[in-house]
């Protein structure tokens, strides 16, 4: 019998449709895989096998009655812990929300349930999605399935590692400055940040509201597109939700995978993303992908985005400013943790003691930085200027997209680094987001797909494509086109080449939230 965890979501959906497997069998296979490897990988903060199996059994009953909710009915899904769920705790990787149960589901979770997807559990993440390595989780780091001494990227390292380690066929993530795309690059998987406002943020515990966007993580472009089709579209609960009618992204991916789809495509290569900051193997695989695109009939041209040089600086003002405001709700009154102080204390003292005990170092750092950036006398120079940089970056993109269909960049400067390596150097960590941040500042969609393995360290590398706002379908088409050429070389998804990891390595800390 073949290992069901090795199949893509699209393949599992086909097998469920033709009756060659059941949702219970598929779900049990993934739960078994989680039980076998997650002691090492620590991709999940919470799993509840009975809950998953009950949902799977209900799916099988619907199938048997000839009434599946969607083509994906019965396929398992991992959910980033930033998304609130009524039947599993939602912590956003923070101690301050340990064990917290949401009274409502995030819209994307509701839509996943309505499509019959089977939730497998909640995935690990940097606390409140602040980080690029998942080391800032209050519940201990996730390990990279390619090398368990290394980080899986962040903040969505749990979702990416779960998918890369065959613990789930696909997963939900959130991307504020690269938290879906950078972990995809680091783990040899696919990650898509949709156009701002195209996927509901309702029930996504807010980090920076003008940057946050929910999106899919998977091993193939088609699987990401299938999940995007389920979760996308207007939601009246999110006041930034776009009312556009979206095309089928799965259809775009399937068409893009056909021979000839790349002919005549104009791809702009961003000149700012090269040079010393970028690891040699990252650039080697990037250029090989461009050569493949060119050989398939795409036209490759150089493009300059001069203002992206200032993107990281602008981002680390806008994000902390918005985060300091969003995280004010953790006040020890309405939900989450409350510290006790001797003699009771005033509500303000209890609040301050709770936030001291409940927030980790990176969260404190960013809240204080954001409070500073918004202070009287600094607002115009810092926050105001950062918002102007945002305008300049949008203008750069507008100009570039006037002459090209998509832009291409390496997704991140380096492959996975060792756990602990950058923990004491926040600026080095922030610099990892150099190529992913501009899409969030401009609101445009971006996708990262694997482009190969860096020769010098054997670790995966991603290529990022960017498209104008609302042109998400174009990204699925182009990414599927390149992916089909790469899969032809590799004989399948890059994750199939990942070495077996030693499951004897224990995790550094205990499970949280369960």
Partner 1 sequence: MSDISEDRVRHLAGLARIDLTNDEVTHLTAELSKIVDVVATVSAVASDDVPATSHPIPLTNVYREDVVTDDVLTTEQALAGAPEHDGQRFKVSAILGEEQ
Catalytically annotated residues: 80, 155, 179
Q: Which residue in the set 125, 227, 314, 461 belongs to the binding site for partner 1 (CB under 8 A)?
A: 314
What order do you get walking across the sheet with 118-123 strand by strand? 44-47, 118-123, 76-80, 170-175, 213-218, 190-193, 446-453, 460-466, 406-410, 266-270, 299-303
Task: For residue 310, state whether it binds partner 1 (rule: CB under 8 A).
Answer: yes
Q: Work out how close the CB of 350 gets to partner 1 at its nearest, in angstroms, rounded to a whole number.
A: 5
Count of residues interacting with partner 1 (CB under 8 A): 75
> Looking at 6, 255, 338, 471, which residue binds partner 1 (CB under 8 A)?
338
Cα separation, 147 vs 378, whole angstroms: 44
Query: Would you tell me how many other CB atoms lie within 10 Å of the CB of residue 344?
Result: 9
100 binds partner 1 (CB under 8 A): yes
- Which of 138, 207, 145 lies closest to 176, judged by CA? 207
**Would you count residue 332 as binding partner 1 (CB under 8 A)?**
yes
**Binding to partner 1 by residue 39, rule CB under 8 A?**
no
329 binds partner 1 (CB under 8 A): no
- Between 3 and 22, how does the x/- string for binding to partner 1 read (CB under 8 A)? --------------------
Cα of 514 vs its chain's centroid, Å: 22
28, 116, 15: which is closest to 72 by C-alpha?
A: 116
Binds partner 1 by CB under 8 A, chosen from 317, 406, 408, 467: 317
368 binds partner 1 (CB under 8 A): yes
Q: Which residue has the tokens 């509201």?
A: 209
Q: What's the gap between Cα 9 and its chain centre?
A: 17
**CB 170 within 8 Å of CB 400:** no
Q: Classify strands 266-270 and 406-410 as parallel, antiparallel or unpaired.
A: parallel
What is the smallest separation between the CB atom of 174 and partner 1, expressed in angstroms?
Answer: 15
Q: Is 313 in the site for partner 1 (CB under 8 A)?
A: yes
Interacting residue with partner 1 among 61, 258, 304, 375 (CB under 8 A): 375
Peptide bond into 155 cis (omega under 30): yes
Is there binding between residue 417 and partner 1 (CB under 8 A)? no
* Contact status: 485 vs partner 1 (CB under 8 A): no
One of 365, 458, 485, 490 touching partner 1 (CB under 8 A)? 365
Q: Give residues 376-395 in contact with partner 1 (rule: CB under 8 A).
A: 381-382, 384-392, 394
Task: State the nearest-atom distance from the C-beta of 465 to partner 1, in Å.
Answer: 18
């Amino acid at each position: 019998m073949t290992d069901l965890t090795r199949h893509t979501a699209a393949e599992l959906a086909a097998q469920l449709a033709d009756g060659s497997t059941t949702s219970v069998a598929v779900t049990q296979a993934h739960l078994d895989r989680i039980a076998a490897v997650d002691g090492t990988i620590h991709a999940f903060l919470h799993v509840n096998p009975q809950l998953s199996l009950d949902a799977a059994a209900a799916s099988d009953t619907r199938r048997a009655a000839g009434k599946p909710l969607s083509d994906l009915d019965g396929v398992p899904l991992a959910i980033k812990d930033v998304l609130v769920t009524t039947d599993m705790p939602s912590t956003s990787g923070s101690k301050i929300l340990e064990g917290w149960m949401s009274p409502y589901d995030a819209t994307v979770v509701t839509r996943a349930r309505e499509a019959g997807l089977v939730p497998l559990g909640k995935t690990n993440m940097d606390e409140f999605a602040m980080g690029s390595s998942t080391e800032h989780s209050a519940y201990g780091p996730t390990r990279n399935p390619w090398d368990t001494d290394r980080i899986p990227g962040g903040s969505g390292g749990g979702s990416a590692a779960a998918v890369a380690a065959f613990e789930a066929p696909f997963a939900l993530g959130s991307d504020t400055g690269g938290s879906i795309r950078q972990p995809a690059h680091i783990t040899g998987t696919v990650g898509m940040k949709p156009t701002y406002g195209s996927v509901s943020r309702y029930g996504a515990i807010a980090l920076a509201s003008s940057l946050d966007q929910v999106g899919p993580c998977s091993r193939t472009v088609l699987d990401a597109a299938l999940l995007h089709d389920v979760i996308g579209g207007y939601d009246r609960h999110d006041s930034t939700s776009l009312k556009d009618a979206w095309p089928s992204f799965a259809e775009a991916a399937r068409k893009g995978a056909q021979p000839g789809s790349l002919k005549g495509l104009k791809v702009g290569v961003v000149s700012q993303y090269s040079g010393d900051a970028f690891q040699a193997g990252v650039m080697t695989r990037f250029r090989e992908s461009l050569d493949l695109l060119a050989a398939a009939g795409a036209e490759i041209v150089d493009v300059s985005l001069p203002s992206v040089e200032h993107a990281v600086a602008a981002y680390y003002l806008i994000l902390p400013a918005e985060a300091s405001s969003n995280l004010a709700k953790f006040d020890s009154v309405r939900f989450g943790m409350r510290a006790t102080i001797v003699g009771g204390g005033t509500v303000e003292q209890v609040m301050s003691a709770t936030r001291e005990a409940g927030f980790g170092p990176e969260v404190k750092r960013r809240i204080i930085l954001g409070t500073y950036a918004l202070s009287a006398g600094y607002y115009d120079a810092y926050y105001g200027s950062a918002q102007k940089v945002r305008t300049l970056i949008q203008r750069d993109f507008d100009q570039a997209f006037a002459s090209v269909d998509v832009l291409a960049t390496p997704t991140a400067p380096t492959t996975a680094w060792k756990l602990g390596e950058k923990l004491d150097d926040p600026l080095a960590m922030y610099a990892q987001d150099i190529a992913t941040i501009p899409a969030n500042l401009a609101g445009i969609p971006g996708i990262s797909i694997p482009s190969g393995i860096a020769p010098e360290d054997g670790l995966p590398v991603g290529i990022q494509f960017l498209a104008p706002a609302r042109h998400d379908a174009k990204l699925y088409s182009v990414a599927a086109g390149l992916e089909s050429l790469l899969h032809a070389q590799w004989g399948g998804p890059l994750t199939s080449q990942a070495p077996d990891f030693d499951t004897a390595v224990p995790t550094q800390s205990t499970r949280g939230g369960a």
